[in-house]
A and B are shown apart, each in its own frame.
Chain A
């Protein structure tokens, strides 16, 4: 039996670090969330949160390089981690206070940081509220 916290499925995606490819990051997230029985409300929140966090990495114009995104599916939880692989990686990823306000309303947990290899990264955790028998 899989425990609650165990990662049941994992999906990895690497896309060019430009806004037009964010679509794929959102579709993948909403596809997985939908499989997990998330409600439409929750899927919409997830999509907005991914936009907000990816913006921290690539801005509105994009950057040269790629973003690697890992989706980990747990029993009731979807975790998304994005890591920037940029050609120039000078500035630290930072969240404005309004972004933090937004994200705390959209997801259960989030972070923006540099990973152990010093790459700009974000993570988010979204817990399903809808009871599974609504599937």
Chain B
């Protein structure tokens, strides 16, 4: 993120003003002017299995703290100071999330590869493959397959707009779910579902409905919706976790 000389002068003036007045309006302007930096830093952390939206939020909190604490008298550029604060905030976020997000890259890659293998093998065999079959196909041990499935857990809260494992890049789930499926949960079905369920995105309601009310298997749903089984698995686990926390909050 770069500012020209005039913008930099203007920002310095605003920081000096804010140091003096603590005016909320100036504060907002300063935050606004540097949101790009927060977004940029959030993106740098976005390949670790956390949704970019969440990271941007965390980075913005860091930016807010930086604006509040920055002392223009110290002679440090704000961007330097803010980068330090924002990265600190992002790192703390990952640390607080525990080991789930620190799944080794190798396992994350295996998880993505397994997504494709599950699809291919399910079609070839005409049934859901066993873990040993997946291991043989992927040329890894059964333990590694199981470990990778767990590593996939870290992806479970990833954004729905992220490419889904085992699918071609670019096609997001929202693009894959057609109009027809969105209409599926109308009236009669909805009544049967808990009010908490109705708060979930439509596509997740559809998947939950197919799995738990229609009794389709994960692979059956994957086929029906034209998405990978791993994505179905991920969305199911995610929606159930969301429902649990929502139920707990009531």
Contact = CB atoms under 8 A, between A and B. Distances in A.
B131 A34 contact: yes
B225 interface: no
Contacts of A97: 194
A51 B241 contact: yes
Interface in A17-34: 20, 23, 26-27, 30-31, 33-34
Given A39-B130, A40-B129, A31 B233 contact: no
Contacts of A47: 149, 237
B132 A135 contact: yes
Interface in B114-135: 118, 122, 125, 127-134
A27 B146 contact: yes
Given A105-B212, A105-B215, A98 B243 contact: yes
Contacts of A30: 131, 146, 149
Interface residues of A, number: 33
B236 interface: yes
B212 A130 contact: no
B205 to A, nearest CB: 12
Contact of B100 (A20, A27, A51, A96): A20
A60 B248 contact: yes
A33 B217 CA distance: 17
Interface in B122-174: 122, 125, 127-134, 142-143, 145-147, 149-150, 153
A59 interface: yes
Interface in A53-100: 55, 59-60, 96-98
